[in-house]
Every structure is written in C-alpha cells, then in structure tokens.
C-alpha cells in the first residue's frame, strides 16, 4: 500500500481512538491486580491470627490397660527422668514417656511430681502430646506447626503453647 495523505490521516486518526480503547483495559487490569494483592494479604493475616488447634482432654486410664497403637491418657507420679524421657508410675504399672525436644534437659517434669500425660502408645512407650501438671498447668509437647503460625511459635519460644489454668486455650 502506498502512503497517501488520506491513508496517513486515517492511521493517525485511529491512533488516539486505539489508546482510548486500551485505557479501560489497563485500568481494569490494574484494579484486578490490586484486588488480588488484597486477597492474598487478607489470607495471610487470617492465617496468622487463626486460633490454635484445640485439644480434647481424655479420661486417664491405667498403665496396665494400655493397648498398642492407641491414643491414651495416664495419670501418675514421675518415678525417674532420663533427659527428654521419664517413667510414670500409676500403681498398676510403669510406662516410659517420650517428650520430644520440649523435654530436653530434664527440666519439664520433676521426680515425684503427679501429672497426667496424654499421647499415643506404641512401641512400648507413650509418645507424649500434652502434659497436665497437678496445679492444672498444661504444656503441649507437639512441635510447632509448619508454615507462618509455626514460624511465630518458634520465634516466641517454647512457652507459647503453655496454657495457664482457667485460661482459654
């Protein structure tokens, strides 16, 4: 096609109209981007402020009645402490309780202390999830959850999961 004054003026005239047609498209795209950023930020805030997992307390059972591969609760006295493990005695028997990283150093419980341990029983010992001391003070033995909430738990230290008696969990 040969450029003539008519074709040049037609191409120039189409230029501003094409720009005007693109502006609503770009404005819509920008608005959609802002909405998406707002949704992502709102979701992140919701995750950070989400309530913690709730724990259902179980009635304690005797150590003699424990069955393998089951969720259990046992109440008794701490007989011996071995680092992050301790032996609990309820009069019907004794069981070894694994406390995980929270119990390292042997400072989590004291010999002779009465407490309730909740967790799961397998391989001959109790993998503790929750300790409830005689005064009602409860401590979670579970590791922090992965993700943003777990990161905050790790930043604030091990007392984050500690629940005082009578306090909402």
- CATH homologous superfamily of 63-161: Nucleic acid-binding proteins (2.40.50.140)
Residue 155 CA: distances (Å) to CA of 20, 63, 129, 149, 159: 52, 36, 21, 10, 11
Q: Are 139 and 130 spatial neighbours (Cβ–Cβ below 8 Å)?
A: yes
pLDDT given for residue 164 in this prediction: 46
Run means of pLDDT, 10 residues per run, the chain, 169 residues: 51 54 74 81 61 70 91 95 93 93 84 94 90 90 67 53 46
pLDDT given for residue 162 in this prediction: 46
pLDDT given for residue 36 in this prediction: 82
Burial tier of 26 (Cβ tally within 10 Å: 0-12, 13-18, 19+): exposed
Residue 147 CA: distances (Å) to CA of 36, 42, 106: 21, 16, 28
The pTM of the full predicted model, rounded to 2 decimals, is 0.56
Instruction: Enter the DSSP assignment of 163.
Output: B
pLDDT given for residue 169 in this prediction: 42
pLDDT given for residue 159 in this prediction: 46
Per-domain residue ranges of the chain: 1-49, 63-161
């Amino acid at each position: 096609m040969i450029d003539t004054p008519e074709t040049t003026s037609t191409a120039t005239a189409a230029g501003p109209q094409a720009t005007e047609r693109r502006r609503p498209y770009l404005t819509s795209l920008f608005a959609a981007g802002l909405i998406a950023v707002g949704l992502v930020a709102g979701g992140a805030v919701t995750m950070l402020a989400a309530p913690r997992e709730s724990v259902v307390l179980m009635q304690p059972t005797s150590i003699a009645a424990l069955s393998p591969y089951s969720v259990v609760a046992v109440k008794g006295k701490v007989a011996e402490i071995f680092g992050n493990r301790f032996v609990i005695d309820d009069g019907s028997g004794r069981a070894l309780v694994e406390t995980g990283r929270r119990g390292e150093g042997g400072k989590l419980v004291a010999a002779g202390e009465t407490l309730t341990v909740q967790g799961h029983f397998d391989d001959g010992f109790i993998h503790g999830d929750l300790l409830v001391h005689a005064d009602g003070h409860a401590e979670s033995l579970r590791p922090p959850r992965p993700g943003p909430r777990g990161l905050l738990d790790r930043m604030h230290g091990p007392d984050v999961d500690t629940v005082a008696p009578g306090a909402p969990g």
